[in-house]
Amino acid sequence: MHFVNWQRDIAISKIDGKMVVIKRNKTVKSINEYLLVFIFTFISFVLLHPTSPFRTGKFILLNEGSLSRQKLKDLGIRTPRLIEINNDVIIEEYIDGGNLYGFLQKSNNLEIVNKVGIITRNLHDSGSCFIDNKAQNYLVKDLEIIRTDLGLIQNHASEYTKSVDIGIFLASLLDLDNEKYKIIEKSFLDGYKNNPTDKLPYLSVIVRNIAALVLVSDHSNLAKNLLKKSDIK
Ligand SMILES: Nc1ncnc2c1ncn2[C@@H]1O[C@H](COP(=O)(O)OP(=O)(O)O)[C@@H](O)[C@H]1O
Ligand SMILES: [Mg+2]
């Protein structure tokens, strides 16, 4: 079975009787990365928070490596077991629950995103950011959240990069129907905030709205959700 992604070719296979995921870089991957870096940096200037381009290339492999996965585990962030990694391919344990976007489309157990809020906050409090914090990069197994696609993690957490993580996560779900989206937004933000009076990185809404234009597939739901007032504070 193959997943159509713009960064990597994803194949599911078996090694020693165990299901694994084999991730191979697409030829266009580096072009896409330059595009992402340009958009990320350009928007930071537009929002008057000039931010240096995020690191790619060999840092992506470092972030996907076992040391990085151990560091995340120490922060309470689970990742699939790494089986093999080199310049061309990453092989990791197959998580059979599918990704969070698919889960939320089908399920009414929306409170699960509270855990993603906590995960994102834990990483931010440790001084790092995911950057590519789409719901599709979270996997669900027995109602537990497992984070995959670690390549773009950056070891700094500014008002802008934290807003990017919150904005991109919410944007990736902004084409779900409004009732669902509202519950998801509140549950994620409750998980992110250490206490109800906690302030959120203040560029989150504008980053969400910009990112949503690129990320979502159902633009009619997107329009409905964007027109509805957000509770983000
Ligand atoms: N270990 C895994 N187990 C099950 N599904 C996975 C696993 N890793 C990735 N996937 C699925 O493949 C999709 C693409 O993988 P990802 O690593 O995010 O590649 P890309 O860099 O192209 O986004 C994910 O959104 C998820 O649905
Ligand atoms: Mg991904």
Counting ligands in written order, the one closest to the CA of 83 is 1
Residue 137 Cα to ligand 2 midpoint, Å, equals 5
- The angle at the Cα of 113, spanning 107 to 114, to the nearest 5 degrees, equals 135
Tell me the β-bridge partners of 9: 24
Q: Which residue, chain included where needed, has tokens 């030829």?
A: 27
Amino acid at 87: N
121-137 b/e with 16+ CB inside 10 Å = b? bbbbeeebbbbbbbbbb
Q: Is 42 in the pocket of ligand 1 (CB under 6 A)?
A: no
Task: Please write the tens of the pLDDT for every residue from 139-182.
Answer: 999 999 999 999 999 999 999 999 999 999 999 999 999 899 99
Q: Is 163 in the pocket of ligand 1 (CB under 6 A)?
A: no
Model pLDDT, residue 104: 97
10-37 b/e with 16+ CB inside 10 Å = b? beeeeeeeeebbbbebeeebeeebeebb
Q: How many residues belong to the chain?
A: 233
Which residue, by CA, sits nearest to atom 13 of ligand 1? Answer: 3
**pTM (predicted TM-score):** 0.93
Which residue, by CA, sits nearest to atom 11 of ligand 1? Answer: 99
Q: What are the structure tokens assigned to 209, written together? A: 């709205």
Alpha carbons 5 and 22: distance in angstroms, whole number:
13
φ, ψ of residue 157 to 5 degrees: the values are -130, 100
Helices (H), 53-106: 58-64, 66-74, 100-106
The answer to whether the beta carbons of residues 150 and 191 sit under 8 Å apart is: no
Per-residue pLDDT tens listing for the chain (233 residues): 444 455 678 999 999 999 999 998 777 667 778 888 888 999 999 999 999 888 888 889 999 999 999 999 999 999 999 999 998 899 999 999 999 999 999 999 999 999 999 999 999 999 999 999 999 999 999 999 999 999 999 999 999 999 999 999 999 999 999 899 999 999 999 999 988 888 899 999 999 999 988 777 777 777 777 776 555 65
List CB-based neighbours of ion ligand 2 within 5 Å: 137, 149
Q: What percent of the chain has a predicted confidence (pLDDT) above 90?
A: 71
